[in-house]
Structure 1
């Protein structure tokens, strides 16, 4: 399923819940901390909703939020998946390989290069035939049989499950969570908001032992900052569109991390709660 498909599936489920409850967009806004214009965009599939909003709607309609959150997690994983770099390895822009000359629609080139390639190919085939004949002759001379020896068994292929993460802890400081593949197992561990639209998320990757902050539905100039208890911080500002995320920051097991955001015109920032990895994981069943 492509990204648009999963967004539409989630939106259709949200719309079904809204119709089932009989609630208007205004009522949804009154009973949650999100604006009715935001609910209209999410329910109609115009924008991807925050996880907290999906869970809030499920609870409001007295239904199990697990299936909706599973759809949300599937799309979120796609949003944070690393994008392939057409110019070379990630983090090394500008590296390219010299391409082979293209062949025409009528077939291989008939110029000098094409003739040289066919000559070289013919020589390689002839050499392979001569080697095969010599091996067969040697087998007959030594064993008295013209049957070739049994081929060796192929070695088992070990498959690697997905690309590895590119960093851990302080090695992640200031790096992009997408390029480091920290989004592969990431979850939103804390949320916050600046009424009514701006949503703050604290994202955490266990594999990278790192975290980052993200804001959505913000205006140009809004700022997001992620902090940890060691005194480190990373920030970014919305330059265009309506969302942005910070670079990575270390999230050690016994330390705490949190995210804050502020509006373009300043004012007091709004923050998520603190997240302590070892404490949270110890409470899991």
Structure 2
């Protein structure tokens, strides 16, 4: 099955479940804490949904989520495959190009060495003829240019649905917005300039509490506290001129508390 077929099959199953539930997109949004526009894209096959959304819809319809999650896992693996294949292709191409260039590089290196020796002899001869005992000045070393910033596994929409730790987006991450729900639940919007992506995190929460990160393009990623007291969402794109924000809700509570919006191009992310 090709990638388009896998996405289409998953979207068809989601659409069938939506129809079986009798819920509108607005009602799905209220019951699952995902945006109405996100559900419209997911069931129409325009965007790959997060795993939690697929599982939530299945359980909402009293359906075993295992077959749907198997389809989701298959497509998720296909989404990761092109990046690995592209990396392998680039290495093979680089290896193929390096072969014919090796003799030419050696000739250039020998020519450079001979030229340096000739220049050194000329400088010493000039110093001897001029009566100077001082050796010629050594050439100044060229400055070494380094590129700052962590190496990341993705940027912008390529990060959608990925784990921020596995993509190394946490290396330069900062908390740019915060919020809370009485009592004690803390909401954070985390942002990585290197990945140009963001994610949501909640702490001191109860099992069943939900956190959702959104952007102004209508995309959303979410997760639920299954155990312990904290959880973070998958990544979402954070374009320079777009906005991102995080919302959270207590178990079985349709009301949500949200952070303020963060626009990367208008602010410098500060360390918490």
Interval of TM-score (by shorter of Structure 1 and Structure 2): 0.3 to 0.5
Judging by fraction of residues, say which structure has more helix.
2
Q: Which has the higher contact order (CA 8 A, sep 6+)?
A: 2
**TM-score between the two structures when normalised by the length of structure 1:** 0.42
